[in-house]
Amino acid sequence: CTKPSVGSQQRRRMVVVKAETINPEIRKTEEKVVDSVVVTELSKNITPYCRCWRSGTFPLCDGSHMKHNKATGDNVGPLLLKKQ
Amino acid sequence: CTKPSVGSQQRRRMVVVKAETINPEIRKTEEKVVDSVVVTELSKNITPYCRCWRSGTFPLCDGSHMKHNKATGDNVGPLLLKKQ
Ligand code: FES
Ligand code: FES
């Protein structure tokens, strides 16, 4: 087969921007990190769950989102599970 | 005051690596995006909540983590809230 002609058009430069992972470290051997909470088993009135992927107690939030937000200008925070 | 002497040491080059935000778009006018779920009000047996910051139905998961994982090689997934 022959290459398609580009005629008088300039070839386009390809710029590939590689998007970034948001989870640098947690359970990287798992294909997808999914966690389950049986809500009837929650013991505290409010339990914060991590959405920043920086918690030392993942899937729970340990406040590490604050350091991440300060370092990057981001605005992420936890999901709060409330019994009432 | 005087600058401290660096003596015969070489000055260190400063390499600043800017960490990346993990939330590019969701509710960026809020200082911190925190959501609450009153678990007694969950209607379905399983409700997935987003932790990838890419969902069109945030704070709920709409499956957008799959596109993010494929594009970046990441392994993030939702938090599943289960009634039992
Ligand atoms: S530590 Fe990740 S949201 Fe708080
Ligand atoms: S869409 Fe974000 S975790 Fe599923």
Catalytic residues of A: 32
Confidence (pTM): 0.81
Check residue B6 and give its pLDDT.
53
Check residue A48 and give its pLDDT.
98
Indicate yes or no: CB of A53 within 8 angstroms of CB of B51: yes
Residues of A whose CB is below 8 A from B19: 68, 71-72
Q: What ipTM does this complex have?
A: 0.82
* pLDDT level of residue B73 (50, 70, 90 thresholds): very high
Question: Is B58's C-beta closer than 6 angstroms to any atom of ligand 2?
Answer: no
Question: Is B52's C-beta closer than 6 angstroms to any atom of ligand 2?
Answer: yes
* pLDDT level of residue B14 (50, 70, 90 thresholds): confident
Residue A36, H or E segment: strand A33-38
Q: Following CA atoms B67, B68, B72, B76 in sequence, which dihedral angle do they give, to the nearest 10 degrees?
A: -120
Q: Give me the mean pLDDT over the B45-66 stretch.
A: 98
Query: How many C-beta atoms surround the C-beta of residue B60 within 10 A?
Result: 14
Which residues of chain A approach chain B closer than 8 Å at the C-beta? 18-23, 27-28, 30-40, 42, 49-53, 59, 65, 68-69, 71-84
CA A81 – CA A6 distance, rounded (Å): 58
3-state secondary structure of A39: helix
Range with the poorest average pLDDT among A14-23, A71-80, B68-77: A14-23
Check residue A13 and give its pLDDT.
73
* Residue B41, phi then psi, degrees to nearest 5: -95, 0
Indicate yes or no: CB of B37 within 8 angstroms of CB of A83: no
Measured from the alpha carbon of residue A61, the closest ligand is 1
Residue B50 has pLDDT above 80, yes or no: yes
Order of strands across the sheet with A76-82? Answer: A46-49, A76-82, B33-38
What is the average pLDDT score of chain B? Answer: 89
Question: Is B54's C-beta closer than 6 angstroms to any atom of ligand 2?
Answer: yes
Listed in sequence order, the residues at least 6 apart from B48 whose beta carbon sits closer than 8 Å to its beta carbon are B60, B61, B78, B79, B80, B81
* pLDDT level of residue B19 (50, 70, 90 thresholds): confident
Indicate yes or no: CB of A40 within 8 angstroms of CB of B73: no
CA A75 – CA B24 distance, rounded (Å): 9
Ligand 2 atom closest to the Cα of residue B57 is: 1
